Amino acid sequence: MKQMIISTALVLALGSANAGVKFYTDKNGQVFTNNAEGRVELKNSTPVYSKASKLKFNGTHYIGINSKNMKEGDGTTNFEMRRNYFQVKAYVLDDPKSYFRVTLDATYTNDKQADGEGHADVYVKYAYLYLDNILPSTGMEFGMVHRPWIDYEEHQGWWMRSLAKVFVEAGEASHLTNSADLGVTFKTKTPYFTSEFGIFNGEGYHGTNDNHGDNDEELGDGLSAEWRTTIAFLGNGEKKRKPLKESYLDASFFGQYNMDNSRNADTSGKMADYVWYGFHAVYNMPSFLVAAQYVSSENNLEKADDSSWNGKGYSINGTYRFGTKKQYSIIARYDKWENEDILTSLIDSSEENLIYGLAWQQNKNFKWLLSGQSYDIKETDNKDWNSVMLTAEVHW
């Protein structure tokens, strides 16, 4: 690993100094380059060894400072490391579009451990084998994989993940699921239709896997079936979207059927099946984006007596881009979620979440964001808060 890091740093440094230079490795592992006079050997270099035909490294990082004021009680101001991804793709097959991916995420939390201190952790967010075109226009992820909905919304409808999670994941909104889980998923991309269907453990990448419910003999007990289907009305669904350069109009139906999932267990530990589904639409042009969604969720009434996972709500977000290169943005998002009493179907609690801000895309790798957020639970004031955040978003 040390040799790999040193060699990678050397190649990056030399490459930035002379972007026209190409690097090669001979059969003995010696690194050399070329210039106008021919091949030049790089002395004292450390070669990179791998059984893969190609390795690809990249990173995503969200760091910032957050000042939060509670409606009742004191406020706090803290520096934050919201996402810190380091990713490698190893191309281990003859197919140039198939690979094995591992993504590590380093996070910091103020939650006190047994020693009374906060801590920083590194954990595996994704670790999967991707096989391209195992069916017509369809690839497969196998391992710790993307769940069908969140990755789509973060790359089509809500590009501001550094400020907040999407509606179905955010703790200030419906908080129904998360973005990764152990399982298998099939991704289809065509110009006018895209989809993703998968089977998962259902607990999520940081949940407790317990695939034994009330009846151990029930087939599939404890797993989760999840889906997304999308119509791409402008006919560019198979492309990797570039929101500053092209237009797209999508409509999606998505959801999950979770069997005996411990995340929605009641206070007695009883688990229940629950299902949630949603509808989403997004329209993007280089100068603006607008998106909206509706989501509904309910527990299995025969197995649960808790209303916290029984509800419905909606979210609307928009982005206006301006400047010669559309490098500046005005951002706004409004979420509303209502929990229903599982016996009476009456509203048990209601939450509202408002996000707004300004963004500056300094270059293709780096963005600054200044934002505010307001969270309001209608039945109480002791959990309500307002915050102001400064965020640096880095991609390399």
Q: How far apart are CA 272 and CA 249, in angstroms?
A: 37
Which of 36, 10, 111 shows the shortest CA–CA distance to 25? 10
Q: How far apart are CA 57 and CA 102, in angstroms?
A: 10
What does the pLDDT look like over 73-114, one tens digit per residue? 889 999 998 889 999 999 999 999 999 999 999 987 665 554
Statement: residue 248 has pLDDT above 80? yes
CB 225 within 8 A of CB 192: no
CB 251 within 8 A of CB 281: yes
What does the pLDDT look like over 30-75, one tens digit per residue? 545 554 445 545 555 567 778 888 999 999 999 999 999 998 888 9
For 240, what's the count of Cα atoms within 13 Å in the CB-facing half-sphere?
Answer: 0
Residue 77 Cα to chain centre, angstroms: 25
The SS3 assignment for 244 reads coil
CB 318 within 8 A of CB 290: yes
Enter the pTM of the model. 0.83
Tokens of 94: 């003859």
DSSP string, 13-40: HHHHH-TT--EEE-TT--EEEEETTEEE
- What are the domain boundaries of the chain? 1-49, 50-395
CB 101 within 8 A of CB 126: yes
* Residue 153 backbone phi and psi in degrees, to 5: -65, -40
The 3 state secondary structure assigned to 290-326 is EEEEEEEEEECCCCCCCCCCCEEEEEEEEEEEECCCC
What does the pLDDT look like over 318-359, one tens digit per residue? 999 999 999 999 999 999 999 887 666 667 789 999 999 999
Regarding predicted confidence, which is higher, 27 or 246? 246
Q: How far apart are CA 258 and CA 147, in angstroms?
A: 13
Query: Considering the domain 50-395 in this protein, what is its CATH number?
Result: 2.40.160.10
Q: What is the mean pLDDT of the chain?
A: 84
